[in-house]
Amino acid sequence: MSIFIFFLGTLIFAYFSWRYAIVNPRRQGPYRFVVFEGILALVLMNDEAWFNSPGSPVQVVSWIAFA
């Protein structure tokens, strides 16, 4: 399921950033696209740990730091 969500997220990022991120390499778009892909990958790899016990004090501090 995570692989499907990753590919769907990649398609969405590519669709919204095609004009600026991928086609015009002089802008910061290609780097931004790669960063968004990396963040999506990190979220999908850590989703079990994040949502295991969302109300624990450690998770609350983690979510505050993440925000």
Q: Per residue in 49-61, pLDDT tens?
A: 777 777 888 888 8
* Each residue's pLDDT tens digit, 18-42: 766 556 666 677 778 888 899 999 8
Query: 47: how many CB neighbours lie within 10 A of its CB?
Result: 13
Residue with tokens 């600026």: 20
**H/E run at residue 53:** none
d(CA 67, CA 57): 15
- pLDDT at 31 (0 to 100): 78
Reading phi first (left if > 0) and then psi (alpha if -120 to 50, else beta), residue 53 is in: beta
- pLDDT at 38 (0 to 100): 92
* Confidence (pTM): 0.67
- pLDDT at 51 (0 to 100): 75
